[in-house]
Amino acid sequence: MDGKGAIAEVLEPIQTAAEAWHKFIDQWPSYVIRLVTAAAIILVGCLVLRFGRRLIRRICAKAGNGKQKRTASQTRTIQSLATSIFNYTVYFAIALIALSALGVDVSSLLAIAGVSGIAIGFGSQTLVKDFISGMFLWGEGRIGVGDVVRLAGQTGIVEDIALRTTTLRDSSGYVYSIPNGDIRTVVNMSWDFRWAQVDLPMSHGQDWAAVMEALQDEMNDYAAKNQLEVTPQVIGLIASDRFSATVRIQMKCPVKDDWRLEREIRQAALTRLAKEGYKP
């Protein structure tokens, strides 16, 4: 290789870089316009999201107060699911329009997605299962936002039902996001009524008839003092082992009142037993 060839070989990358730089300088206004347009699209999309969520809340509130009134739980459930569908739709639209503004051939991307759809489908079976399960879960009306439920081994209040997940908050304040596809059995504790049950382990050798009489008298006083429509009933002995025997007190109560009533009944019962000289 002669000297001219060596120099040309060295200068070729420099010339290529210079040509690319000049091309960028010539076209940079176009790049800036594209970036500004994409940013404007994203900003408008965020505004649409905010306005749409507010509109969904208003429509659901109006539907809940209409002639055919829905329960608060049904209204919150519909609002939660509608918001989830709206969010996914707007995010997808923003992504497509912004990419198109940046000069990306969106039709090519959709074609590639269509060709690879089968492979993606196999890889996203769990996601699809979550979506379908979420639709059935909402459509069947087995649970609603605000219900106390047990799902996938977790117990708590339903805070949100989305297409992919259901969110619970337990009594300790912990939040659980449960994939809808993992929900097999639903235990809804918010339908119709609940049973407030208090089990009192007591040592053997008691005068059980006197114990039952004292407890029932206390429950009558408790119901009268708190103006309850239903009086707690002393069911009697429900279990026994070599260490203790268990007395149960039970009452039918409105949904979500059972925990409070159980605490109050237990306190009243233990106070009366101590006053009468019985050993729990």
Crossing angle of helices 72-101/106-115, nearest 10°?
A: 120
3-32 tens-digit pLDDT: 555 555 555 666 666 566 566 565 566 667
The structure tokens listed for 20 are 């690319």
pLDDT at 53 exceeding the cut of 80? yes
Q: Regarding predicted confidence, which is higher, 254 or 119?
A: 254
Say whether 194-276 and 121-188 share the same fold: no
**pLDDT (mean) for 40-67:** 79
Give the pLDDT mean for 124-133: 67
Instruction: For residues 106 and 233, give the distance between their C-alpha atoms in angstroms, rounded to a whole number.
Output: 69
Q: What is the pLDDT of residue 35?
A: 82
> Is 215 within 8 Å of 266 (Cβ atoms)?
no
Task: Give the least confident one: 142-146, 176-180, 224-228.
Answer: 142-146
Q: Which CATH number describes the domain made up of 121-188?
A: 2.30.30.60
Radius of gyration of the chain (CA): 33
What would the pLDDT profile of 206-243 be if each residue is shown by its tens digit?
A: 889 999 999 999 999 999 998 888 899 999 899 888 88
Residues 251, 232: contact at Cβ < 8 Å?
yes
| Mean pLDDT of the chain, nearest integer | 78
In contact, 255 and 192? CB cutoff 8 Å? yes
Interatomic CA distance for residues 96 and 29, integer angstroms: 22
| C-alpha to C-alpha distance for 236 and 163, rounded to whole angstroms | 47
* pLDDT higher than 50, residue 69: no
Instruction: Give 185 or 137, the one with higher predicted confidence.
Output: 185
Question: Looking at domain 194-276, which of 3.30.70.100, 3.30.365.10, 3.40.50.2000, 3.30.2000.10 is its CATH number?
Answer: 3.30.70.100
Query: Of the candidates 121, 122, 149, which has an alpha carbon nearest to the alpha carbon of residue 137?
Result: 149
Burial (0-12, 13-18, 19+ Cβ within 10 Å), 24? exposed
What's this model's pTM, rounded to 2 decimal places?
0.48
Per-residue confidence at 120, pLDDT binned at 50, 70, 90?
A: very low
User: Do you know the residue count of the chain?
Assistant: 280
pLDDT at position 82, please?
78
Enumerate the domain spans of the chain. 3-105, 121-188, 194-276
What local confidence, expressed as pLDDT, does residue 70 receive?
47
Cα–Cα distance measured from residue 145 to residue 137, given in angstroms and rounded to the nearest whole number: 12
